[in-house]
Amino acid sequence: MAPVTLDELNAAFDADFVLALDGIYEHAPWVAEAAAPHRPYPTVAALHEALMGAVRAQTADEQIAFVRNHPDLAGKAARAGDMAPASVSEQAGLGLDRLSHEEYDRFERLNAAYQQRFGFPFVVCVRRMTRDAVLDTFERRLGNDPAAELATALDEIGYITRLRLVERVDGPGLPPVFGRLSTHVLDTHRGGPAEGVAIALYEVGRSGRARLAEAVTNADGRTDVPLLSGAPLRIGVYELVFQVGEYFSRRGLDLPGQPFLGEVPLRFGISEPEGHYHVPLLVTPWGFSTYRGS
């Protein structure tokens, strides 16, 4: 669907309002139909709150029927191509369309166990998680009681639709959907920023490490742009690798032929997809420290 402005939505006929939001909620045009009479909405965030309010106003049985419209993760619908386009894109973004037979089998076992326990599919906003985090969350949520799990599923649908809405509707007051990861290298031996330090960012998972970004620090010891931005930060484990040995070698210090520090890896976890994670490195040729900054 083509993007629209919030002003256009506020002024549209009810049928056009519903059509413009088609696909934001999985096979559920009644959500937009319920929100249409309450226009105008001053912000995109207010529109999303109204849409989710329509969902939360339903009875528990109606909410369960609504959740049942969502596909299993990497399930038979995904493999058969029987999913809404937005779900196809979101699952593909996490590589769930490219799993090995063993990985598909694991998802199928989890899907079956979850359906047997709760009677509806496991719903999670995959754009906010790494694959490892999705699987860990899948297994952990199997221990929830049914009422708590239904509430969690609706929360996740809120995250999913918030992202879809921001991509579809342009207007003031966007809900928080994007995170940011930045770094700053400080040479505490010299007492100033470290310029020219090569940095690589990796996502770390059970199957290995995937390189996500590369950068070199500028005169302020920072990267010219954030290492990650413009999307949610996926919940998971990451590693920043700083080439400090090369940096100190260029400074011409009297160091051993085999430097004490060459690469400095910092492994850390992200749990707030819409947060700002600032991971600085304070370093000398003989030691380093870090913290979560702002």
In a domain, 186, yes or no: yes
The answer to whether residues 123 and 220 belong to one domain is no
The answer to whether residues 123 and 245 belong to one domain is no
SS3 content of the chain, % helix, strand, coil (to 5): 40, 25, 35
For the chain, state the CA radius of gyration.
Answer: 23
In a domain, 83, yes or no: yes
Written as six digits, the tokens of 167 are 């991509």
- Output the pTM of the full model: 0.88
The answer to whether residues 142 and 214 belong to one domain is no
* Angle between helical axes of 101-118 and 131-141 (0-180°, round to 10): 30
In a domain, 187, yes or no: yes
- Tens digits of per-residue pLDDT, 33-71? 999 999 999 999 999 999 999 999 999 999 999 999 998
5-14, 100-109, 128-137: which range is least confident on average?
100-109
The answer to whether residues 119 and 254 belong to one domain is no
- For residue 172, say if its preceding peptide bond is cis, omega within 30 degrees of 0: no
Q: How far apart are the first and last CA of the chain?
A: 37
Burial profile 87-123: b = 16 or more Cβ within 10 angstroms, e = fewer:
bbebbeebebeebeeebbeebbebbeebeebbebbbb
Q: What's the CATH number where 274 sits?
A: 2.60.40.180
- Tens digits of per-residue pLDDT, 71-97? 888 655 554 555 566 665 665 566 665
The answer to whether residues 107 and 190 belong to one domain is no
In a domain, 93, yes or no: yes
In a domain, 294, yes or no: no
The answer to whether residues 165 and 188 belong to one domain is no
Last residue of a domain, one of 133, 149, 170: 170
For residues 58 and 52, the answer to whether their CB atoms sit within 8 Å is no
CA dist list (Å): 214 to 68, 108, 178, 217, 293 = 41, 36, 20, 10, 20
Residue type at 262 in one-letter notation: G
The answer to whether residues 89 and 187 belong to one domain is no
- Give the number of domains in the chain: 2
- Tens digits of per-residue pLDDT, 187-246? 999 999 999 999 999 999 887 889 999 999 999 999 999 999 999 999 999 999 999 999
The answer to whether residues 200 and 79 belong to one domain is no
Among 289, 290, 280, 292, CA closest to 183: 280
The answer to whether residues 103 and 161 belong to one domain is yes
The band of 105, judged by pLDDT with boundaries at 50, 70 and 90, is: confident
Last residue of a domain, one of 125, 153, 170: 170
Q: Is the pLDDT of residue 281 over 70?
A: yes
Among 290, 173, 277, 279, CA closest to 232: 277
Distance CA 155, CA 257 (A): 56
Range of the domain at 44: 4-170
The answer to whether residues 34 and 147 belong to one domain is yes
Last residue of a domain, one of 170, 195, 220: 170
